[in-house]
Amino acid sequence: MGVIEAVILGILQGLTEFLPVSSSGHLVIGSEILGLKNEENLTFAIAVHAATVLSTITILHKDILNLLKGLFKFQWNEETQYVAKICLSLIPVMIVGLFFKDQVEELFSSGLLIVGIMLLVTAVLLAFSYYAKPRPKENLNYKDAFIIGLAQGVAAIFPGLSRSGSTIATGLLLGNNKETVAKFSFLMVLIPILGEAFLDLVKGDFSSAETSIPVASLIAGFLAAFIFGCLACKWMINLVKKGKLIYFAYYCAIVGTIAIVYSIAK
């Protein structure tokens, strides 16, 4: 993977991370289009996901600082309870990361067929959440936080199954409003992705000896994802909160079908 290809994939990651269309699936599709199928691996995906997490921190820094200020008051206040819900939601994805990383890496290198199928699953989930009309809740509770965490854990396994799409749709089906679910969805991903990137950095998985992707390409992809993630984050979060998810369902259905047909026909 050259620097130009890494920048293209980084831009793609930055633009798709915040919409319910699966950034990981688009990375696989982009790699296929660029002829990088054999070079695409989980290391690059982790690097660019970490970049967009940093862009999330940049855009949502006020919310994050407020949570930290409340947390370090060492009181069972609203901020502490919110952080507790985030921690509860992390349990499923932590189990996936600790015990199923090898299987996840195999799926991420399995090609377009699984991506296409999971995009169709994402489309169905988004459509179902759009047409379902559950009774609205005032606050996201602990049970909902854990169930949304389960959705994130499943989405972490399959490329093409949108993390944000799965978590937001699950939250909506549980009766939570878009603004509450969107905020929770984007904040709950910070710790697992940064943690995974940190562990891989400590283990040396980002070194040239451990990955076929040159360090320069990793850096270029990281910077591109961060810059475009910052540019797109605020707009995309508002779009997720206020927009109609059915349009994203249509998009995922179209792209997923194309990916499946292409995978079978080639």
pLDDT at 100: 64
Closest C-alpha among 223, 209, 225, 101 to residue 153 = 101
Residue whose pair of structure tokens reads 């949108």 in the numeric block: 162
> 234: Cβ–Cβ under 8 A, 6 or more apart, which residues?
59
Q: What's the pLDDT band for 109 if we cut at 50, 70, 90?
A: low
Closest C-alpha among 8, 10, 36, 9 to residue 230 = 10
Q: How far apart are CA 264 and CA 261, in angstroms?
A: 5
**What tens digit of pLDDT does each residue of 198-254 get?**
655 555 555 544 556 777 888 898 899 899 888 877 776 677 666 677 888 899 999
Please give the model's pTM, rounded to 2 decimal places. 0.78
Burial group, residue 141, by CB count within 10 angstroms (0-12, 13-18, 19+): middle
DSSP single-letter state for residue 93: H
Looking at this protein, which amino acid is placed at residue 99? F
Q: Considering the chain, what is the average pLDDT of its residues? A: 80
Q: Give yes or no for residue 95 having a pLDDT over 90.
A: no
Q: How far apart are CA 17 and CA 29, in angstroms?
A: 14
Residue whose pair of structure tokens reads 């090898």 in the numeric block: 102
> Residue 120: how many CA atoms within 13 Å on its side-chain side?
11
Residue spans of the domains in the chain: they are 3-265
Closest C-alpha among 7, 22, 5, 30 to residue 227 = 7
Q: How far apart are CA 54 and CA 47, in angstroms?
A: 11
Token readout for 35 is 């002829």
**What tens digit of pLDDT does each residue of 38-93 get?**
445 566 777 787 888 888 888 888 888 999 999 998 889 999 999 999 999 989 88
Q: How far apart are CA 163 and CA 169, in angstroms?
A: 10
Closest C-alpha among 23, 57, 55 to residue 164 = 23
